[in-house]
């Protein structure tokens, strides 16, 4: 469903650290902004918002964040964001308290394509990349028209205490396979290695793979899938200024040239990406 990007004001309900440097923020966009709820109706997982704390000059630019979840509540719209403190900007955002106001642009970008009759959805998440994939899994799980697909999730993190979002994945996944770089939980190694072990289970006739995570992880996944027919869509990151396709700052290399992550993405076919 088409939707219009709007600028709106949200109020922080909570903004809590759920693992070292990882935060869950819940925002209430009040009923006063009636256009917001309408705008967000029809949002697809993988789309994002851009945030700026009201009345603060730092960070200067808005910060893009994937939508982790979205739902109406008593006439208001609740937007949840799962994010990692990666620099000064996200650090400032992580210090914000309940009732602090946030200036929001959204919904932005092109989300994941949904395949309604797909039998098996495979999610490959690296670190905070679990955020849009969790939204996607719940989206598939909530399909009341078609029989929801089987959802399998591969989740990787550096250490056990940095695994976030598993509780919500538990609600929808038939199988969650975990890896940690230091072996403190699950498979000792990279999540892509874990996924590669199962690659023969998935084929193009009944499965689709979705992924989000650090750039090297996506690159490694692309190599694993190079000769596989199973479709794979990935959500990628790039520094952004405007989020609406005007500044051309978030260019990414694809086979046909450069694309804007904010407008043409952030979701791309993994086989379209160019790795240089």
Partner 1 sequence: MKENMKDPYNTKLQVDIGGLVLKNPVMTASGTFGYGEEYANFIDLNRLGALIVKGISLERRVGNPPHRIMETPCGMLNAIGLENVGVRSFLDEKLPFLKNFDVPVIVNIFGETVEEYRKLAQALSDVRGVDGLEVNISCPNVLKGGVEFGTDPDMANKVTRAVKSVTDLPVIVKLTPNVTDIAEIARSVEEGGADAVSLINTLKGMSIDIEGRVPHLKNITGGLSGPAIKPVALRMVWEVVKSVSIPVIGVGGIMDAADAVEFLIAGAKAVQIGTANFVNPHTTIDVLEGIDNYLIEHGIDDINDLIGTLKV
Binding site for partner 1 (CB under 8 A): 4-7, 52, 57-62, 89, 103, 105, 238-253, 257-258
Other beta carbons less than 10 A from residue 227's beta carbon? 6
Residues sharing a CB contact under 8 Å with residue 88, sequence separation 6 or more, in sequence order: 58, 59
Please, are residues 187 and 179 in contact by the beta-carbon 8 Å criterion? Answer: yes
Q: How far is the CB of 58 from partner 1 (least distance, A)?
A: 8
Rounded to a whole number of angstroms, the minimum distance from the CB of residue 55 to partner 1 is: 12
Nearest CA among 238, 2, 215, 267 for reference residue 109:
267
Q: How far is CA 59 from CA 9, 116, 180, in A?
A: 17, 40, 32
Query: Tokens representing 276?
Result: 């240089």
User: Smallest Cα–Cα separation from 271: which of 196, 219, 193?
Assistant: 219
- Rounded least distance, CB 236 to partner 1, Å: 11
Please tell me the distance from the alpha carbon of residue 93 to that of residue 58, in angstroms, as a whole number: 9
Specify the residue, 61 or 176, whose C-beta has the smaller distance to partner 1. Answer: 61
- Cβ-based nearer residue to partner 1, 208 or 242: 242
Shortest spacing between CB 239 and partner 1, in angstroms = 5
Q: How many CB atoms lie within 10 A of CB 35?
A: 12
| Alpha helix stretches (DSSP H) within the chain | 34-40, 88-94, 130-141, 166-172, 191-197, 215-224
Minimum gap (Å) between residue 243 Cβ and partner 1: 8
CA distance 79 to 74: 14
Nearer to partner 1, 172 or 236 (CB): 236
Answer left, alpha or beta for residue 155, where phi above 0 means left and psi between -120 and 50 means alpha.
beta
Return the number of the residue (57 or 167) whose C-beta is nearest partner 1: 57
Q: How far is the CB of 246 from partner 1 (least distance, A)?
A: 4
Q: Which is nearer to partner 1, 34 or 146 (CB)?
A: 34
Burial 155-187 (b: 16+ CB within 10 A, else e): bbbeeeebbbbbebbeebbeebbbbbeeeebbb
The least distance separating partner 1 from the CB of residue 215, rounded to whole angstroms, comes to 11
Q: Which is nearer to partner 1, 49 or 118 (CB)?
A: 49
Q: Residue 61 or residue 199: which is nearer to partner 1 going by CB?
A: 61
């Amino acid at each position: 469903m088409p939707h219009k990007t709007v600028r709106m004001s949200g109020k922080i309900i909570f903004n809590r650290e759920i693992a070292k440097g990882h935060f869950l923020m819940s925002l209430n966009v009040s009923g006063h902004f009636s256009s917001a709820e309408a705008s967000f109706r029809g949002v697809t997982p993988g789309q994002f918002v851009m945030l700026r704390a009201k009345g603060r000059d730092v960070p200067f630019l808005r910060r893009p964040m994937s939508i982790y979840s979205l739902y109406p509540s008593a006439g208001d719209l609740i937007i949840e964001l799962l994010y990692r403190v990666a620099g000064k900007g996200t650090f400032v955002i992580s210090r914000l308290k309940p009732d602090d106001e946030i200036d929001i642009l959204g919904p932005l970008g092109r989300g994941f394509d949904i395949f309604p009759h797909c039998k098996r959805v495979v999610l490959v998440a690296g670190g905070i990349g679990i955020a849009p994939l969790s939204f996607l899994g719940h989206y598939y799980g909530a399909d009341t028209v078609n029989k929801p697909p089987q959802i399998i999730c591969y989740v990787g993190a550096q250490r056990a205490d940095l695994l976030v979002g598993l509780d919500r994945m538990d609600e929808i996944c038939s199988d969650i396979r975990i890896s940690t770089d230091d072996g403190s939980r699950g498979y000792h190694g990279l999540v892509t290695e874990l996924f590669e072990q199962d690659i023969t289970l998935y084929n193009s006739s009944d499965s689709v793979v979705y992924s989000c995570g650090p750039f090297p992880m996506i690159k490694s996944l692309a190599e694993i899938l190079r000769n596989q027919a199973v479709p794979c869509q990935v959500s990628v990151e790039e520094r952004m200024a405007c989020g609406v396709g005007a500044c051309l700052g978030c260019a990414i290399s694809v086979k046909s040239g450069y694309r804007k992550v904010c407008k043409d993405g952030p979701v791309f076919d993994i086989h379209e990406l160019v790795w240089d």
